[in-house]
Amino acid sequence: MLYVDIPTHSEIAYLGRHRADACVSIYLETTPQTQHIDAARIAFANLSRNALHQLEAVGFDKRNASAISDQLQAFGEDDEFWAHQGHSLCVFVTPETLRSYRLANRLTTGVHVSDRFHLKPLLRSVTFAGSGLVLALAENGVRLIRLYADQPAEEIRVADMPKDAASYAGKSTLNDRTDVTRSGGPDGQKMRLRQYARRIDELLRPVLKGSETPLILAATEPLASIYRSINSYEYLATETLATSPGEMTPAQLETTARPVLDGLYAEEVERIRRLMDQRSGQGRTILDVAHAARAATACAIDTLMVDIDAVVPGFVDEASGLVTFAEKDDARAYDVIDEVAVRALLSGARVLAVRAEDLPEGAAIAAITRYAI
């Protein structure tokens, strides 16, 4: 089983605001297969030692370094925790605190030490988690299927979900012609289906509340159009899987839905790139790290894409956003691109942590500003 702790926006914002004499950010690949977790635990121990060596190299206070070391050691020895993992693990440590998140994404292993946390890889988990939901909807039944990044799909049990449209209507079949005067015939059948769809939408609301996970509808007409007409979930994909899902297994539904899910991400990145082309002539795009840092500090960024793997060590002035680049990435400097992403996020911008190929050629950062700069 895959164990994940997807961070909320408020949790990421908290980590972004946090400052300490030393903030250690560790990312490593893990596995949900407990029998193979030892390699990840060894990697974690090595990354922990790397972090402590970085602190020692800059003369960090030994008592605080010892406090960080104690927390990392205790965390590494927690057998119960390590037995329940996803595909990646991120750990954020200060002398006083330790937070961790298990993720479905496969992230690049690494350790970062400075006075703030390194968050770009964590942002990737909310930019594109590689996960989604499929609502397999038919007259003879309904199921909610969760898709994971690298884990077999599974059904989510939703309390009180109708068994089928007919039983929800209190009838043996929706094609019953004995009540023609009230609700029989094509119009009556659609009314019953609308009631059925409305009830499903109501039951899904508490399950989906607060989520931004894409929901893909698998249904045939007329039920597909009926459900769309009453749907209240903002992130229902526009493309419908026009198939009868009643006999399909979760694995078959995942195979059918995966191209739609991948397409949603590609479409969103492409939409932003097209918008950048439009805004470029208006003086509202930035491809330069230093320029983006000043814009983020001034709360001027509307949408930002950053290369998840690129690191530009340096410092960003808290008031002006002026960047001072550093020669090396040590425990004093931090990633300027990461800092720009966090400042933009805290100002209400939409921030996407993407791969290099999703950005304009040669750029490690790409921003659309709220006004011409």
At residue 34, what is the residue type?
T
What is residue 180's predicted lDDT score, i.e. its pLDDT? 47
Radius of gyration, alpha carbons of the chain: 25
Confidence category of residue 3, pLDDT binned at 50, 70, 90: confident
d(CA 208, CA 211): 5
Is 231's pLDDT higher than 90? yes
Considering only 16-25, 88-97, 204-213, 342-351, which range has the smallest mean pLDDT? 204-213
DSSP letters spanning 251-273: HHHHHHHHHHHHHHHHHHHHHHH
Q: Does domain 281-369 have CATH number 3.30.1330.30?
A: yes
d(CA 65, CA 82): 24
> Which CATH code for domain 132-267?
3.30.420.60
- For the chain, percent of residues with pLDDT exceeding 90: 74
Domains in the chain: boundaries: 9-127, 132-267, 281-369
Per CATH, which fold does 9-127 belong to? 3.30.960
- Cα atoms in the 13 Å half-sphere on the side-chain side of 128: 19
Contact 130, 119 (CB under 8 A): no
The residue with greater pLDDT, 128 or 267, is: 267
Confidence category of residue 153, pLDDT binned at 50, 70, 90: confident
| Across 201-226, average pLDDT | 94
Average pLDDT value over all residues in the chain: 91
Contacts of 370 (CB under 8 A, 6+ apart): 284, 300, 301, 302
| Across 165-176, average pLDDT | 80
At 133 the three-state DSSP class reads strand
| Across 345-366, average pLDDT | 92
| Across 257-285, average pLDDT | 90
What is residue 188's predicted lDDT score, i.e. its pLDDT? 77
d(CA 66, CA 330): 19
What is residue 300's predicted lDDT score, i.e. its pLDDT? 98
Nearest-5° angle of CA 43, CA 44, CA 49? 100
What is residue 364's predicted lDDT score, i.e. its pLDDT? 96
157 exposure class (CB count in 10 Å sphere: 0-12, 13-18, 19+): exposed
* CA dihedral sign of residues 195, 196, 201, 204: positive
**Helix residue spans in the chain (DSSP H):** 9-17, 38-57, 62-76, 79-82, 120-127, 165-168, 185-208, 223-230, 250-280, 289-297, 336-346
Closest CA to 333 of 115, 105, 48, 146: 115
